[in-house]
Every structure is written in C-alpha cells, then in structure tokens.
Amino acid sequence: MRWVRALRRVFAEALEGVEIAVENLVTARLRSALTVLGIVIGVMTVIAIVAIIQGLNASFQAQIANLGAHTLYVSKWAWFTQGREQWWELRNRKELGRKELEAVEREATLATAVAPMGMTQSDLTRGDLEAPNVQVIGTNAQYLATGAGTVAVGRFLAETDVDLTRSTAVLGADVADRLFPGFDPPQMLGRKVAVNGKAFEVVGVLERRGQLLGQNMDSNVVVPYTAFQRDFGGRRSLSIAVSTTPENLSALEDQLVEILRRVRRVPPEKKDDFSLNRQEQFLRTYEQLTGSLFEVAIAVGLITLLVGGIGIMNIMLVSVTERIREIGVRRALGARRSTILLQFLVESSIVAAVGGALGTALGLGLAQLIALVSPLAAAVSASAVVLGIGFSAAVGLVFGIWPAWRAARLDPVEALRHE
Amino acid sequence: MSAGPLIVVERLCRFYEVGGEVVRALDGVGFAIERGEWVGIIGQSGSGKSTLMNVLGCLDTPTSGTYRLNGTDVQTLADDQRADLRNKEIGFIFQTFQLLPRATALANVMLPLVYRGVPKGERRDKAEEALAAVGLTNRMTHRPNELSGGQRQRVAIARALVGEPSMLLADEPTGNLDSATGDEIIRLFDDLHRRGHTILLVTHEPRLAARCPRAIRLIDGRVIADGRGSEIAALGGAAAVPA
C-alpha cells in the first residue's frame, strides 16, 4: 500500500510537471518557440540527412539487386584496388581465356549460369548514323541469366550463334534509338549494323535499364564472344560471370577458386592470380561513402543539439528565477526537493521533445521536398523519428539538470520571501 | 495522534550569521500548545516571530532546542521528512496569499493533495468541499487575478484546510486586506476555531491578537508574555503598533 501511494505520488507529480510544462509552452509561445528553435534546426538537419541517406541506400540496393547480386565476376582485374603496387601486380597477371571458361562451365557444379564477358569500346554505325563509344560485350546465351537485363524485342543470343560464330547483335536501348531513329522496334530486327566496321545482324533489343552510379547502362551491344574474339582479337582478356543461388554464393566462391588455381597452375604457396568480384562490393564501397557522410551529419546535428541544449538550459534558468516564489509555495505545501527537481526536468524534456518532434516533422518534409526536386531519394524510418524525438528529450533532460537542481536546492523560507 | 500537547517547544534557538555578526532571532523560546487552541503570536518586526513561524512550519530548523509537533521531534528530521510533515500536519496561510497565479482556485486547493499521492478524483472532491467550506463554490474555475483579495485569501485558507492538517499556521493573514475584508477572514478563523481547528496566528497587530483566546508576545527572540489574547494585546499595545 505504501509503495502504491508513493508511486501514485510520483506519477501525479510527473503529471503536474507535464501540465505545467504545456501551460508554459502555451502561455509563453514566442519564448518557447525561440527556445526550441535550436533543437528544431538540429533535429531537422539530422533527420533530413538521415532520410536522404537511407533513401539512397534503399534505391541503390534495389539497383544492385537488379544487377545480379548473386553473381561472381571472375576477372584478371579486381574492381577495387588499393594502391599502385597492387595495380602492377594485377597488370602482370595472365589473361583469362577460353581455357578457364571451359573449365568453369564444366566443373562449377553450383553455378546456375556461366557467361564469358569480353569487353571493349567501339563505334557502331548504320549508313550515316553513328553511335559512338558503345560498350561491346562478347558473351554467350547465358549472359542475361547473370542479371544483365532482359530482352525487349526479338531474341537474345542463342547457343548456335556462339558455336557458329555468327555475326548477330543485341542492341542496348540507347544504341537502338541512335541507329534506328523513328523505327518501331520490331522493324529493327534482321537489319545490319556495323560494329567496328564489320556487319552484324540485329536479332534483339534490350530493355532500357537506366543509369547506375551515373553510368549509362543502355549504351551497349551484345555479340557472341566467338565473333567478338574474331573481330577484336583472340587474346583479349575475358571475364567470366558466374551466377548461383544466394545460399550457395560462398560455396561457389570456393569452388571457383579451386578450379581456377588448378587450371591456371597456381603453385600452392602463391596467391590467386585472378579476382572474384561481386556487385556487393559496390554496395560496400558505397556504404562506406554514405557512412562517413552519415557521421558528419550526426556530428553536425550533435553540435546543433548541444547549442540547442544550452538554449534550453538558459531559458530554464530564467524560468526557475521567475518562479522562485512558486517553488517556495510548493515546498511549503509538501513538495520535496526531488519533486521540484522532477518538475523542472519534465518541463525541460518536454520543451526539448516538442522541439524534436517539430524538427523531425520538418526534417522529413525537407527530405521529401529534396527528393521531389532532385534525383535523390528519401526514406522515412520509424527509428529515425523515435530517435529524433527521444534524443531531443534526452538533451532537454541533460541540460535541464543544472537549472532543476538549482530550483530544488532553494531554501523554502527565502523562496517564499522572494519578491 | 499522540497524547500530550500538539506543540511543545523547549529552549528553542535560531541564530543567523549576518556579516560576521550573530543575530539571535530566537533565543530560548518555550511554550506548549494544545489541540484546538487558537494562539496569536505577536511581536514587532525583528522580534523573531517570522523565524518562529518558519521553525513551527517546519520550513526552517532551529540552531538548538527541541520542537515536538504531534509527537514528532522536528529538529531531527531530514529535509524530505520535513516536507512530508508540512504536507500532512500544517496548513499555511500567508499574508500575500501565495497562490499559483496560473492555476485555477480548484487547482491551487488540490495542490497539497498532489504531494500526498491522493487519486485525482478524490483530490477534486476534497478541494471542492474545502472551497465550499470557505464560501467559494462559484469561484472554483477562476484564476487568482480574477478574484478579490478576500476571495484569494479564502482560496488560500481552503488550500490550508484541504489536507486536514493538525494546525493552521497563519502569517499576517489580514495584512494585505482592507479592514472589512480582514474582519471577514478573522470571523472565518473564529468559525474554524469553533469547529476544533488548531490555529497559530502570527501578527504585529494588537487588534488581531486581541481576537485570539491566547497570545504569546515576543521581543528580541524571547517570550515575554503568554496569556489571554486581550490582555497580551493591551500589554504595551501602543508601543507594539508601528507608526
């Protein structure tokens, strides 16, 4: 019974604090508004930046998933190199060729698709029309299954195209637009285009894919790798895209390492002379980038909150001074020191939390606005909202301690006598 | 409730140090007050009556001596315990009313019960009852600045009564009121006294002390007379009234 009463008392006192806080907020609107402004700006900044970073992450993740998240790219080159020395090391590696491709096709039992990728830049022409600097990709029929897009019109490369070294081509959407202006896509099929001066027959057009990290994904043409090697040189390095199911990804990695080391006769004591690249690496690099941006944003937000907190402390000190007599009355009527402390802490937390809520709302609005007028995306996460409000309340609490302690420490006799 | 007098004060001293000099605000005060008594404490400013009121109100602790209130030795209590004791045993009535300016009459009267952990519904009922007892049933939702001085003091009296304390401690309760309104308040005290409340009234006005059945006169921190209010008031009355 005793503790029920004590609990009820604390609850009633806290509720009193809330009522007082709300009342002060309402009666001193301008002052309250100015007080919480610092918190509002701080929270708004952080929330807006967080929302945009999370939005970017989400959209980037979605793009990566489209790209074949479960594909390993075996290559002479590592996508992410560190320093000049490593570059030289990679430079001196043996090229990957048909031997490796055949071994992987034969032995990588976990693979769901294996596609070679020979790549170069070349100009495509059709009569007077030209598509400059097109990415030419020499591959096989399984290329699309490694997450490389879909066919919009016509067909993709067939195995016979590869086996018979046919001069067939599947055009990227931009290339199709350039070489066949005003054509209905089906009309393009069966027509010839010149790749590096050699005639190729258009058998299909790829679906538009847009941009990834500012790179145009539609300025390309896909040809059989046999034809690619015929026209661009047989010793040109191939990459090999190997897809699998998500759960087999790391097992596939082991399998590929084993196959390639054997085929390339890498002595046991030597390092791999090839790289297994993943799209995920992009994501990781990207997250590192946004991660540091995130940290800067948080740091800026913290500094602003600190300033806001000092503002709250200042106004709470004023508020305590203004209400010295009230504190004396409350003490006379039976409020303990802790009661007064609680009252002022509740008040400063509420002031700050209201600022936090306002800042969160404004921040989310700002993020949406930015997403609307720029290519950036914005995501609203519940955790950001809770954190925004909770963190400001905590700031209010921390910066309210000193004023509240001063209030609680007042001598009731002197407080009652205060003019 | 314990046996014996409600208040027992023995050799009570309260010294201050002001600018290196010791001020003996209370210098060996002793008396006892029974339940149901109405006692005036009279003295000029500087006589120590305010200090005595603060000590009796458990707002201040004596330098030495004992103060027993309703069986509790107040001078030994910690700050929190004194706060609880004030809440439970003492109803304060101040010269300047000391109402919370932004709270309604009802909220002001409910406040002591908040600090006692009384549930909200019960708080409201008791506060309404107390306001009715001082004749303010139709002023409950008014804020202090919407009330006259007399009404404000009656709200304060309702606030002092609501917790059913064992004594009312009034410090110059008519000091800020015109004489007609002051009389009204004193009649209210009369009424409360008849209903069995213990009242301590601190004042410098002999006229007011004369209304108390018993009065204690202080000079320089000592009790110099203790007896019937009318006699004590007459005693050196002219000298006691400031110009």
pLDDT of residue B242: 43
pTM for this entry: 0.71
Contacts of A289 (CB under 8 A, 6+ apart): none
Q: Based on the domain organization, do A234 and A339 belong to the same domain?
A: no
Alpha helices in chain B (DSSP H): 49-56, 79-89, 105-114, 120-133, 149-162, 179-194, 206-209, 229-234, 237-240
Q: Based on the domain organization, do A140 and A258 belong to the same domain?
A: yes
Residue A289 banded pLDDT, cuts 50, 70, 90: confident
DSSP at A140? -
DSSP at A24? H
Q: Judge whether A205 lies within some domain.
A: yes
Number of residues assigned to chain B: 243
What span, in angstroms and rounded, lies between the C-alpha atoms of B213 and B215? 7
Return the structure tokens found at A215.
């790179």
Q: Could you list the residue range(s) of the whole structural domain that residue A21 is in? A: 7-63+284-417
Average pLDDT of chain A, as a whole number? 86
Q: Based on the domain organization, do A95 and A48 belong to the same domain?
A: no
Task: Work out how many domains chain A is built from and give that number.
Answer: 2
Chain B contacts to A (CB-CB under 8 A): 54, 57, 59-60, 79-80, 83-84, 86-88, 92, 94, 98-102, 111-112, 114-120, 159, 163
Q: How many CB atoms lie within 10 A of CB A189?
A: 15
Cα within 13 Å of Cα(A340), Cβ side: 33
B117 → chain A, closest CA residue? A9
What 3-state class would DSSP assign to B2?
coil
What are the C-alpha distances in Å from A176 to residues A132, A181, B86?
12, 8, 90
Set of chain A residues whose Cβ sits within 8 Å of the Cβ of B167: none
In Å, how far is A280's CA from the nearest CA of chain B? Answer: 60
Query: Taking 70 as the threshold, does the pLDDT of residue B174 lie above it?
Result: yes
Q: Based on the domain organization, do A385 and A271 belong to the same domain?
A: no
Q: Is A413 on the interface with B (CB under 8 A)?
A: yes
Give the bridge partners for B226, in sequence order.
B216
Question: Of B102, B112, B117, which has the smallest distance from its Cβ to A8's Cβ?
Answer: B117
Q: For the segment A314-369, what is each residue's pLDDT rounded down to a tens digit?
A: 989 988 998 999 999 999 999 999 989 988 998 888 888 888 999 999 988 998 88
Q: Based on the domain organization, do A272 and A304 belong to the same domain?
A: no
Q: Based on the domain organization, do A328 and A222 belong to the same domain?
A: no
Mean pLDDT check: name the lowest of A149-163, A373-387, B63-77. Answer: A373-387
Cα within 13 Å of Cα(B52), Cβ side: 36
DSSP at A245? -
Q: For the segment A52-102, what is each residue's pLDDT rounded down to a tens digit?
A: 888 887 777 777 666 666 888 888 888 777 666 677 777 778 888 888 888
Q: Based on the domain organization, do A308 and A204 belong to the same domain?
A: no
What span, in angstroms and rounded, lies between the C-alpha atoms of B58 and A253? 80
Mean pLDDT along residues B100-104: 89
Q: For the segment B11-46, what is each residue's pLDDT rounded down to a tens digit?
A: 999 998 888 899 999 999 999 999 999 999 999 888
- Quick one: which H or E segment has residue A201? strand A198-206
Return the structure tokens found at A271.
């390092």
Q: Please check whether residue A43 is in contact with residue A388, taking contact to mean a CB–CB distance below 8 angstroms.
A: yes
Q: For the segment A151-181, what is each residue's pLDDT rounded down to a tens digit?
A: 998 999 999 999 999 999 999 999 999 999 9
What span, in angstroms and rounded, lies between the C-alpha atoms of A97 and A239? 8
Q: Judge whether A313 lies within some domain.
A: yes
Q: Do A326 and B100 touch (CB under 8 A)?
A: yes
Return the structure tokens found at B196.
């069995």
Q: Judge whether A1 lies within some domain.
A: no
Query: Taking 70 as the threshold, does the pLDDT of residue B231 lie above it?
Result: yes
pLDDT of residue B243: 36
β-strand A220-224 against A129-139: which pairing, if any?
A: parallel
Residue B237 banded pLDDT, cuts 50, 70, 90: very low
Average pLDDT of chain B, as a whole number? 91
Buried b (16+ CB within 10 A) or exposed e, A379-403: bbeeebbebbbebbbbbbbbbbbeb
β-strand B64-69 against B7-18: which pairing, if any?
A: antiparallel
Q: Please check whether residue B58 is in contact with residue B69, taking contact to mean a CB–CB distance below 8 angstroms.
A: yes
Set of chain A residues whose Cβ sits within 8 Å of the Cβ of B79: 336-337
Question: Of B92, B115, B159, which has the smallest distance from its Cβ to A339's Cβ?
Answer: B115
Query: Taking 50 as the threshold, does the pLDDT of residue A111 lie above it?
Result: yes
In Å, how far is A335's CA from the nearest CA of chain B? Answer: 6
Select from A245, A278, A311 the last residue of a domain.
Answer: A278
A12 → chain B, closest CA residue? B114
Q: Do B54 and A413 touch (CB under 8 A)?
A: yes
Return the structure tokens found at A12.
């009633």
What are the C-alpha distances in Å from B177 to residues A6, A8, B95, B96?
39, 38, 9, 9
Residue A50 CA to chain centroid, in angstroms?
10
What span, in angstroms and rounded, lies between the C-alpha atoms of A136 and A120? 5
Mean pLDDT along residues B119-124: 90
Q: Based on the domain organization, do A336 and A411 belong to the same domain?
A: yes
Query: Taking 60 as the threshold, does the pLDDT of residue A313 lie above it?
Result: yes
Q: Based on the domain organization, do A106 and A42 belong to the same domain?
A: no
Q: Judge whether A191 lies within some domain.
A: yes
Q: Based on the domain organization, do A138 and A231 belong to the same domain?
A: yes
Q: For the segment A220-272, what is each residue's pLDDT rounded down to a tens digit?
A: 999 999 999 999 887 777 889 998 888 888 888 899 999 989 988 888 888 88
Of chain A, the percentage scoring pLDDT greater than 90 comes to 30
A17 → chain B, closest CA residue? B114
- Quick one: which H or E segment has residue B150? helix B149-162
Contacts of A103 (CB under 8 A, 6+ apart): A259, A260, A262, A263
In this structure, whether the domain defined by B7-238 belongs to CATH 3.30.230.70 is answered with: no
In Å, how far is A20's CA from the nearest CA of chain B? Answer: 9
What span, in angstroms and rounded, lies between the C-alpha atoms of A317 and A344? 10
Q: Do B92 and A332 touch (CB under 8 A)?
A: yes
What span, in angstroms and rounded, lies between the C-alpha atoms of A192 and A22? 77
Residue B241 banded pLDDT, cuts 50, 70, 90: very low
Q: Please check whether residue B232 is in contact with residue B209, taking contact to mean a CB–CB distance below 8 angstroms.
A: yes
Q: Based on the domain organization, do A125 and A164 belong to the same domain?
A: yes
Query: Taking 70 as the threshold, does the pLDDT of residue B150 lie above it?
Result: yes
Mean pLDDT along residues B191-209: 93
pLDDT of residue B192: 93
Query: Taking 80 as the threshold, does the pLDDT of residue A28 lie above it?
Result: no
Set of chain A residues whose Cβ sits within 8 Å of the Cβ of B86: 331-334
Residue B200 banded pLDDT, cuts 50, 70, 90: very high
Question: Of B98, B115, B120, which has the smallest distance from its Cβ to A334's Cβ?
Answer: B115
Of chain A, the percentage scoring pLDDT greater than 70 comes to 96
Q: Based on the domain organization, do A333 and A347 belong to the same domain?
A: yes
What span, in angstroms and rounded, lies between the C-alpha atoms of B186 and B182? 6
Query: Taking 70 as the threshold, does the pLDDT of residue B124 lie above it?
Result: yes
Q: Is A6 on the interface with B (CB under 8 A)?
A: yes
